[in-house]
Amino acid sequence: MFDPFRPRRSVLYMPGSNARALEKAKGLAADALILDLEDAVAPTEKAAARDLVCEAVKSGGYGKRELVIRINGLDTDHGIDDLKAACAAAPDAILIPKAQSDAMIEETETLMQEYGAPDSTQIWAMMETPLGVLHAERIAMASTRLTAFVMGTNDLAEDLHATQTADRAGLIPHLTHCLLVARSYGMVIVDGVYNAFKDTDGFTERCDRSREMGFDGITLIHPGQIDTANAAFAPDAAAIETAKAQIQAYEQAAERGEGVAVHEGRIVENLHAEAARKLLHRHNAIRAMNH
């Protein structure tokens, strides 16, 4: 039996103040949508965007897409009102910007209970400051509602005084640290945005490297990036066929009383068979998004 799995290959930021964009998002192939009340919304539009986003979540029409509301920080003028409204709207998750401590997550959880958020509404945390990365394990342990890290690589690079190069050498230690924590505590983790959204080749390369590192998906700033992300973070046809063959070989060996099988000259042990089953489980979940 596998834990419930939802694809998060493509996680698209949507400006919360743009009604047309929120409506258009209902037809996009993104696995998840972050309806943004923070960076993408001007200070004078915060209240109107809050109403717009929460009404969109309540009204539905987004199919199987995961809906996440990114609120403003609780230490800002808009954060508490955002959190109250988001709890009433009951999205799949509420995304906390600039998560830096376990206390921030604990405060969020307490307030969510006070404001009547359903148990199904998760907490996601933006990992976008040096202090947040440093305290990643404490943050991960702070609440059972916390299920995902979202890397905020633009803000993180700025605070680190790091240059964002193609190989991301200045960010790799911080990305891998958050990956290590996420995997240790059974959490989802999605990579930061790729800013040059018209650079298809560069974005494809970024997705491939991100997948190889172990990320579940990547955050996007433009709908044109969705198809590339979805393809990169899904098992390809060859991987699916290999997984099926490994499972079959292992099960046949088990029927013979053998604990090890061989497929195409490679050892297949129980751990390989389990990995193959998980891959097929992910594949089936992705297929279900389109039906």
Q: Do 43 and 171 have their domain in common?
A: yes
Q: Do 156 and 54 have their domain in common?
A: yes
Q: Do 250 and 155 have their domain in common?
A: no
**247 domain-assigned:** yes
Q: Do 205 and 257 have their domain in common?
A: no
Residue 2 has pLDDT above 70, yes or no: no
Range of the domain at 95: 10-232
**5 domain-assigned:** no
Q: Do 47 and 176 have their domain in common?
A: yes
Q: Do 140 and 155 have their domain in common?
A: yes
Q: Do 15 and 42 have their domain in common?
A: yes
Give the pLDDT of residue 214: 96
**111 domain-assigned:** yes
The 10s digit of each residue's pLDDT in 214-248 is 999 999 999 999 999 999 999 999 999 999 999 99
**In the chain, % of residues over pLDDT 70:** 98
Q: What confidence tier does 3 reach under pLDDT thresholds 50, 70, 90?
A: low
Q: What confidence tier does 5 reach under pLDDT thresholds 50, 70, 90?
A: confident
Q: What confidence tier does 291 reach under pLDDT thresholds 50, 70, 90?
A: low
Q: Do 22 and 65 have their domain in common?
A: yes
Q: Do 278 and 175 have their domain in common?
A: no
Per-residue pLDDT, averaged over 240-260, amounts to: 93
Residues 6+ positions from 291 with CB-CB distance below 8 Å: none
- Structural domains in the chain (count): 2
**In the chain, % of residues over pLDDT 90:** 96
Residue 36 φ then ψ, to 5°: -95, 125
Give the pLDDT of residue 1: 32
